[in-house]
Amino acid sequence: MKTFNVAIAGLGNIGLEVYKNLIKNKKNIFNKTGFKINISHISAKNPKKNRGYLIPKKLWVNNPLALPNIKEIDIIVELIGGSDGIAKKLVFDSIKNGKHIVTANKALIAKYGDLLAELAEKKSVNLLFEASVGGGIPIIQSIKQGLIANKIKHVYGILNGTTNFILSEMEKKESSFQEILKIAQNKGYAESNPHADISGADVASKISILSSICFGCKIINKKFLVEGISNIDLLDIQCAKNLGYRIKLLAISEIIGNKIKQRVHPALIPLDLDIANINGVTNAVVVDGDPIGRTIYEGAGAGKGPTSSSIISDIASIMVGNDDFSFGLSPSAKKNYKLFNFNKHISKYYLRFLVNDKPGVLSIITSNLAKNKISIQNLIQNPDKNKLSNVMIVTHKAKEENVQKCIKVLCKNKKIFKKIVLIRVRDESKL
Ligand SMILES: NC(=O)c1ccc[n+]([C@@H]2O[C@H](COP(=O)([O-])OP(=O)(O)OC[C@H]3O[C@@H](n4cnc5c(N)ncnc54)[C@H](OP(=O)(O)O)[C@@H]3O)[C@@H](O)[C@H]2O)c1
């Protein structure tokens, strides 16, 4: 009976929790897998840091980059983070030296996943990263194994708990983005530098990984549309609600012909759709496959407990040997899809123009929309006391490039237009 020697590199928020839960669940994992786990080495930056938990000194390795050279280690769990630097070197070196890798590092996998998967296949080791998408939701396993019989055409979801918390709380507490961001930071949902969450960069890595697994393709390495939530005001959330929608930051990917239409942006979605009612830090992923149809996966998208659950599941998969391919198929079988030209995207648009409340402004807006073949479905005007007015418009279906052209022209008129908000409406299907 084999005992697996596991090394944990990075003992922060997630690494320490994995350490604790592996110790707590040792017997349980043995009963379920028939294999024993032995935490043989651990490493982090500062060996003197008080982690509030007793860790035997003999396990400590000062430099994580020494781990790949330690013969008795079978599995290295990388929980340092970052797409480059020490995490990258550790993962590449470990695979080269025949160690299995488990990581939660979405930035690294989104950037180097294809290269790493090829190397892992060559070296006959596993590279697993369940925790990199959707925290505790076993979405990668579900797609790779549970949906193996399906051709997946479409995947989308709410993949960032911080931004979902902010949008939900803005609506619930009728508060501004900045006020709720502060609350999120105090509760530990948002980091002191929340840029990766707020800008959509974190979600962009996650949808790149999901696309590759769902469609059996190489990771999209071209720049695709990524928009965050910092431009959204409480007014947009309230106005969307009055129109029957809720605003969510969505990551969406679908196959259009031989291209992938992949993007991250806030969207107005109908209130009666399940995904519109995923609130707080919860994540949800919708996968549309043939023959299964629409499936939805919901759960805690981050946090130490849920994330450690996914990491330990990957360790167990390696031990029982039931997960050979990182992305669900041999790297050599991965297709090379091109990115869809998003200028050709067609949808309805929510537009808000904050303008100086002067006669003739409305006709400037409507004539420019008409010039760009954009027709109006709803129009709401909302003057305030400061001689400013908000004009909210929901368009009929229009082409992205026409909408962008129109906004570009209007933006130049700084005397009238103080702010223009564009949010795509996603009500064309019940997906
Ligand atoms: N937090 C979440 O909810 C969550 C969810 C899903 C995925 N993830 C991913 O999980 C990974 C870890 O996240 P985390 O929240 O645990 O991060 P964290 O709390 O910042 O922990 C990072 C750990 O890496 C160590 N480290 C940093 N630089 C190092 C260096 N140069 N050499 C050696 N060790 C170094 C730190 O050592 P010291 O402790 O000694 O400073 C710390 O133990 C990231 O890839 C993240 O994206 C996190």
Residue located nearest, by CA, to atom 35 of ligand 1: 45
Q: What is the pLDDT of residues 50-79, one digit of tens each?
A: 999 999 999 999 999 999 999 999 999 999
* 296 pLDDT more than 80: yes
Residue located nearest, by CA, to atom 15 of ligand 1: 13
- Using pLDDT thresholds of 50, 70 and 90, give the confidence band for residue 191: confident
Q: What is the structure's pLDDT at 324?
A: 84
| Calpha distance 292→134 (Å, rounded) | 21
Separation of CA 286 and ligand 1 centre (Å): 29
Q: What is the pLDDT of residues 124-162, one digit of tens each?
A: 999 999 999 999 999 999 999 999 999 999 999 999 999
Q: What is the structure's pLDDT at 61?
A: 97
Residue of 88, 99, 206, 304 marked active site: 206
Q: Are 143 and 214 in contact (CB under 8 A)?
A: yes
Q: What is the structure's pLDDT at 259?
A: 95
- Give the three-class secondary structure for 123: coil
Q: What is the pLDDT of residues 336-369, one digit of tens each?
A: 999 999 999 999 999 999 999 888 999 999 999 9
Residue located nearest, by CA, to atom 41 of ligand 1: 45
Give the nearest ligand 1 atom to 46 CA: 40
Q: Give the count of beta carbons closer than 10 Å to the beta carbon of residue 243.
A: 17
Cβ of 105 below 6 Å from ligand 1? yes
Q: What is the structure's pLDDT at 157?
A: 97
Q: What is the structure's pLDDT at 414?
A: 85
Q: What is the structure's pLDDT at 319?
A: 96
Q: What is the pLDDT of residues 85-103, one digit of tens each?
A: 999 999 999 999 999 999 9
Q: What is the CATH number of domain 139-300+327-339?
A: 3.30.360.10
Identity of the amino acid at 325: F
Q: Are 15 and 8 in contact (CB under 8 A)?
A: yes
Q: Is 206 a catalytic site residue? A: yes
Average pLDDT over residues 199-209: 97
Give the nearest ligand 1 atom to 47 CA: 40
Q: Where in the chain is the domain with CATH 3.30.360.10?
A: 139-300+327-339
Question: In sequence order, what are the beta bridge partners of 151?
Answer: 290
Average pLDDT over residues 114-118: 98
- Using pLDDT thresholds of 50, 70 and 90, give the confidence band for residue 429: low
User: 3-132: CATH homologous superfamily?
Assistant: NAD(P)-binding Rossmann-like Domain (3.40.50.720)
Q: What is the structure's pLDDT at 430?
A: 62
| Calpha distance 153→156 (Å, rounded) | 10
Cβ of 13 below 6 Å from ligand 1? yes
Separation of CA 10 and ligand 1 centre (Å): 5
* 260 pLDDT more than 90: yes
Could you tell me which residue, 295 or 385, shows the higher pLDDT?
A: 295
Cβ of 170 below 6 Å from ligand 1? no
359 phi and psi angles, rounded to 5 deg = -60, 145
Q: Where in the chain is the domain with CATH 3.40.50.720?
A: 3-132
Average pLDDT over residues 378-397: 91
Q: Are 113 and 92 in contact (CB under 8 A)?
A: no
DSSP code string of 415-427? TTEEEEEEEEE--
Sign of the Cα pseudo-torsion (224, 225, 228, 230, in order): positive
Q: What is the CATH number of domain 345-425?
A: 3.30.70.260
Q: Are 247 and 162 in contact (CB under 8 A)?
A: no
* 192 pLDDT more than 80: no
* Token reading at 356: 């100086």
Cβ of 42 below 6 Å from ligand 1? no
Q: What is the pLDDT of residues 217-227, one digit of tens each?
A: 999 988 999 99
